[in-house]
């Protein structure tokens, strides 16, 4: 277990933002993770768990407690059952399962970060979410002081949300178990229209697994959504805002403000409608590349806020607030941040 003091956190995040950690602990086994959490909890020390730092906005003041970096490894495949240690690199996990001819997470290729963080916000893209494949999550329950195994149903998954995100001080994910599919080398049905078009198939068809993964990687790279240290469009936390889910009344109010424009609209649970945050941002006047300072919108995607190299967390948040306020003024819709904020608020 490596322990450092006054350790810079910015290099551990994809935004490259944030001040130092008072104490940074890097754990490479589950036992080290549990012991570091127990030690911090016993001392009443604030604790921040990080994996790949790809969904975090850390304030410029840093973190005045223990930051626990999860660097555990473990990829165990038994037939179609996959068990991952929380520290496994997600994008590599997807590549390995595709190479093994197994379907279920192929459309989640290229998403940065760790396997252990995927249940936290029910990671999803291109019509797939981890919640459909996760059978169990093994986590250390800080309230109970012991490790627990939660079934997929007990994880409370919904759109970019889970029990872990709802109660962030309680669980530290140690292992994630998936049930994958053996479709003879074929993918799960292509759900997303853009992917289907790119692959030259109809939505609902299955394609070769490697072709599915390659198509997703190409589409993502075109939007700056695959990490590339040389490309500042990828110095981001991915989508900065979640797609708003509007109640029937909110949706009626929103439509009344559209002035003849047609906004994306998808059915959501409980009679709600999901619209597109990227569309709202663009239509409110914040196009690709918007911003004159060291933090701007990505030149490839309006939904990614990026650090052009010299930004502070303050710069990024100022841009985020300008966009949130502009969308509210134009459409009456409140954008909500997707990344987790540490020591700062939108
Ligand atoms: C370029 C880019 C593209 C992206 N595209 C997508 C996308 O398509 N879909 C999508 O859903 N997300 C996307 N994201 C967001 C991000 O990659 C995911 O949310 C990812 O799962 C975060 O993993 P991480 O290990 O980096 O988490 P971190 O950023 O390190 O942490 C995020 C949160 O999870 C908590 N956490 C991390 N590990 C654990 C653990 N083991 N136990 C308990 N809590 C933990 C942290 O405390 C924090 O609250 C993208 C990000 C970037 C930078």
Atom of ligand 1 nearest to the CA of 139: 42
Separation of 298 CA from ligand 1 center, angstroms?
Answer: 19
CA of 340 from ligand 1 middle (Å) equals 9
Residues 308 and 81: their CA atoms lie apart, in Å, by: 41
pTM value > 0.85: yes
d(C-alpha 213, C-alpha 106), whole Å? 5
Ligand 1: centre distance to CA 48 (Å): 13
With residue 215 as reference, give the H or E element that holds it.
helix 209-222
118 lines ligand 1 (CB under 6 A): yes
> pLDDT 10s digit of each residue in the chain, 346 long?
899 999 999 999 999 999 999 999 999 999 999 999 999 999 999 999 999 999 999 999 999 999 999 999 999 999 999 999 999 999 999 999 999 999 999 999 999 999 999 999 999 999 999 999 999 999 999 999 999 999 999 999 998 999 999 999 999 999 999 999 999 999 999 999 999 999 999 999 999 999 999 999 999 999 999 999 999 999 999 999 999 999 999 999 999 999 999 999 999 999 999 999 999 999 999 999 999 999 999 999 999 999 999 999 999 999 999 999 999 999 999 999 999 999 999 9
At residue 11, the pLDDT reads: 97
Residue 286: the pLDDT is 98
Q: Residue 185, by phi and psi: left (phi above 0), alpha (psi -120 to 50) or beta?
A: left
Q: What is the pLDDT of residue 314?
A: 97
Q: How far is CA 264 from CA 51, 196, 230, 274, 279, in A?
A: 33, 18, 33, 8, 8
CA-based torsion, 109, 110, 113, 117: positive or negative: negative
Is the minimum distance from the CB of 15 to ligand 1 under 6 angstroms?
no
Calculate how far, in angstroms, residue 112's C-alpha sits from the geometric centre of ligand 1: 7
For 316, phi and psi rounded to 5 degrees?
Answer: -65, -40
CA distances from 334 to 37, 230, 346 (A): 35, 33, 12
- Confirm or reject: Cβ of 116 under 6 Å from ligand 1: yes
Of 37, 71, 117, which is best to mutate to test ligand 1, by the most ligand atoms within 8 angstroms of its C-beta? Answer: 117
Mutate to test the pocket of ligand 1, among 37, 112, 138 (most ligand atoms within 8 A of CB): 112
Residue positions annotated with a catalytic role? 160, 239, 338
Q: How many CB atoms lie within 10 A of CB 151?
A: 11
What tokens does 164 get?
A: 């872990």
Residue to probe by mutation, ligand 1, list 29, 91, 120, 216, most atoms within 8 Å of CB: 120
């Amino acid at each position: 277990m490596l322990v450092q003091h006054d350790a810079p956190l910015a290099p551990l995040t994809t935004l490259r933002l944030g001040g130092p950690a008072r104490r940074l602990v890097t754990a490479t086994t589950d036992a080290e993770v549990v012991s570091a959490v127990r030690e911090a909890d016993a001392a009443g020390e604030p604790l921040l768990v990080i994996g790949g730092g790809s969904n975090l906005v850390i304030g410029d003041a840093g973190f005045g407690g223990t930051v626990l970096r999860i660097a555990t490894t473990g990829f165990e495949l038994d037939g179609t059952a996959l068990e991952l240690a929380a520290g496994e690199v997600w994008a590599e996990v997807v590549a390995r399962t595709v190479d093994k001819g197994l379907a279920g997470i192929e459309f989640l290729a290229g998403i940065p970060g760790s396997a252990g963080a995927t249940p936290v916000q029910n990671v999803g893209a291109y019509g797939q979410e981890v919640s459909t494949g996760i059978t169990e999550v093994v986590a250390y329950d800080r309230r109970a002081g012991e490790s627990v195994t939660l079934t997929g149903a007990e994880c409370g998954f919904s759109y970019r949300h889970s029990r872990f995100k709802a109660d962030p001080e309680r669980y530290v994910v140690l292992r994630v178990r998936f049930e994958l599919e053996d479709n003879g080398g074929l993918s799960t049905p292509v759900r997303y229209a853009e992917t289907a078009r790119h692959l030259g198939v109809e939505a609902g068809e299955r394609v070769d697994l490697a072709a599915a993964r390659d198509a997703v990687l190409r589409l993502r790279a075109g939007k700056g959504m695959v990490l590339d240290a040389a490309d500042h469009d990828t110095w981001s936390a991915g989508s900065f805002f979640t797609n708003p889910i509007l109640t029937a009344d909110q949706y009626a109010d929103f439509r009344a403000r559209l002035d003849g424009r047609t906004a994306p609209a998808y059915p959501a649970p409980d009679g709600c409608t999901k619209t597109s945050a990227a569309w709202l941002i663009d239509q409110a006047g914040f196009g690709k590349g918007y911003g004159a300072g060291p933090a701007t919108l990505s030149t490839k995607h309006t939904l990614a806020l990026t650090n052009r190299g010299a930004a502070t967390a303050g710069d990024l948040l100022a841009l985020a607030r300008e966009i949130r306020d502009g969308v509210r003024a134009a459409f009456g819709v409140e954008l909500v941040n997707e990344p987790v904020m540490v020591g700062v608020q939108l």
